[in-house]
Copies of this chain bind each other. A is one copy, B any other.
């Protein structure tokens, strides 16, 4: 509520930059009302997700505003996709420090506009506040899925195959590149990995095709091993994956070959935004059809099994000789502690 010398008023900013993003959604009322109205299509229910990102924590303080906007939106669309939901709309709360200029807001809105077109979603509401802290963005995304059909975390059965879309570890390796820790890479490979860190590619088209096929799913945001552990725990099972089957991009392979310690980074780093899912063996053919139809690699990497009786880690990683690998870390959590969840 403090005056912001660099910026026009809140209403002018909304009218100029954000109201145009709401034009295609009647229930957004042009952002001129106090709430939005949304209904699922017949036979569907709404799927709602929120995730916030904070400057200096989830993105570099000097990151370009359009990339920040797109990341904030995409991390939410990724969750909807992993649940099998078709994205429809989103809201944004934008907390801005005084130093922000109008050009930043313009670029932020341009980033949203770009991704709205790409993913077929519409802005339907939000809030702007000033903050003495860093740029902070909370996004709430709405999708829809057939009633009772979203793909849960906890539906895996013993004997199911574990699949992952796309490639794993690019974003985590990209962050290492940014920190100068992968000097062996050529420029093109390094840029590929860094781009994957800056800009998630949520599997929005693929996700809904998994409804009725996948027994459990989530998106890989905390890291492959941590997210597989989440899926295993809620499904009350264990998972065994084979490291040589995990799909890596060519740049990721180059990085790991140059420095084998980076295998752990790739398997346990976060920000992949691929879909990790399980499916019974009978679904293999339909999954192959989806892979062909959409041109997205879908790779089997292991299996769900009954948990060992005295279970300390529900995820085992086998190397190419079939022996278990020990990894330093199983990924990110937002706060310390909590080793057993």
CA distance A153 to B11 in the complex (A): 15
Given A47-B36, A152-B29, answer yes or no on A54-B130 (Cβ-Cβ < 8 Å): yes
A136-180 vs B, Cβ < 8 Å mask (1 yes, 0 no):
101010110101001011100000000000000000000000000
Residue A328 is within 8 A (CB to CB) of chain B in the complex? no
Nearest 3 CB-CB pairs, A to B? A133-B133, A9-B338, A138-B138
19 sample A-B contacts, Cβ–Cβ < 8 Å, listed by A number: A1-B57, A1-B332, A1-B333, A4-B335, A9-B337, A12-B337, A12-B338, A33-B152, A33-B234, A35-B49, A35-B80, A50-B126, A50-B138, A52-B93, A54-B129, A57-B129, A131-B134, A132-B134, A136-B136
Q: Taking the nearest CB of chain B, how far is it from the CB of A133, in angstroms?
A: 1
Q: Taking the nearest CB of chain B, how far is it from the CB of A126, in angstroms?
A: 6
Q: Taking the nearest CB of chain B, how far is it from the CB of A236, in angstroms?
A: 12
Residue A341 is within 8 A (CB to CB) of chain B in the complex? yes
Taking CB atoms, residues of chain B closer than 8 Å to A69 are none
16 further interface pairs, Cβ-Cβ under 8 Å (given A15-B341, A34-B49, A35-B80)? A9-B334, A9-B338, A11-B341, A35-B48, A37-B47, A37-B150, A48-B140, A50-B91, A50-B125, A54-B129, A58-B129, A95-B136, A127-B138, A128-B334, A128-B335, A136-B136
Given A7-B336, A12-B341, A52-B93, answer yes or no on A130-B57 (Cβ-Cβ < 8 Å): yes
Residue A206 is within 8 A (CB to CB) of chain B in the complex? no
Residue A13 is within 8 A (CB to CB) of chain B in the complex? yes
Taking CB atoms, residues of chain B closer than 8 Å to A120 are none
Residue A51 is within 8 A (CB to CB) of chain B in the complex? yes
CA distance A33 to B219 in the complex (A): 11
Q: Taking the nearest CB of chain B, how far is it from the CB of A178, in angstroms?
A: 15
- Within residues 78 to 96 of chain A, which ones have a CB less than 8 A from any CB in chain B? 79-80, 82-83, 85, 91, 93, 95
Contacting pair B130 A132 (CB below 8 A):
no
**Number of identical monomers bound together in the oligomeric complex:** 2
Contacting pair B51 A46 (CB below 8 A):
no
Contacting pair B133 A131 (CB below 8 A):
yes
Residue A252 is within 8 A (CB to CB) of chain B in the complex? no
A1-33 vs B, Cβ < 8 Å mask (1 yes, 0 no):
111110111111101000000000001010011
Contacting pair A45 B50 (CB below 8 A):
no
Contacting pair A1 B130 (CB below 8 A):
no
Q: Which of A29, A131, A150, A234 has the most CB of B within 10 A?
A: A131
